[in-house]
Amino acid sequence: MMEARSDGVVCVTCQGTVPEVCERLLRTLDDMNEPVFCTVDHAANAERAGLRMPATRVVTFGNPAVGTLLMLEAPAIAMDLPLRMLVREAEGVTVLSYARPEALAVRHGIDPSFAPVAKVSTFMAGLAEYRGARQMRKGVGPRSNR
C-alpha cells in the first residue's frame, strides 16, 4: 500500500523485514549500476549508545549526472542529495519512505516540471513499488533512464 502524505513523504508498506527490504533495495541499485553512498543502521547506532529503537535503516544513493543538474539549478538542493530511502519497522510492519522529488524541488525553488525532477520521481516511485514493497522478481522493476 502506497501513501503520499501532505508533507511530501511517500510511505510504502513492504513485504519482509527491514534487513530483507534493504537487501532487495541494495541489490536492485547494484543491478542498475546506481551508486550507493552509504547505509545507516540507526537501530544499531542506538544500541551502541545504550538505547533501543525499532529496526531503522537509511540507504543513500544517486546518479551524479542527474543530481548535478538539480544542484546547478538550485545549489541548496545539495542538502537533500544524494537521494535516500528510509526502511523502518512500525508496529510490526516494514515501511519504506522517501521524500517526493517534486516536494524537494518546490522546497528549493525548482520548477517541479523540470525534466530531471520528473526522472527522479519516476525512478523513486518505481524503486519503492517494485523493489521495496514487493518480493524481488527477476525481470520486474524500474528501468533507469537516468
Instruction: CATH number of the domain at 17, please.
Output: 3.30.310.70
Question: For 85-142, what is each residue's pLDDT tens digit?
Answer: 999 999 999 999 999 999 999 999 999 999 999 999 999 999 988 765 554 333 334 4
pLDDT band at 8 (very low <50, low <70, confident <90, very high): confident
Residue 17 covered by a domain: yes
Cα 65–chain centre separation: 17
The model's pTM: 0.86
pLDDT band at 71 (very low <50, low <70, confident <90, very high): very high
Helices 115-127 & 64-73 angle (0-180, nearest 10): 140
Residue 29 covered by a domain: yes
Residue 89 covered by a domain: yes
Quote the number of domains for the chain. 1
Where in the sequence is the domain holding 16, given as residue range(s)? Answer: 2-133
Residue 98 covered by a domain: yes
Report the candidate in 26, 3, 23, 22 with the shortest Cα–Cα distance to residue 13. 3
Q: Does residue 68 carry a pLDDT above 70? A: yes
Residue 36 covered by a domain: yes
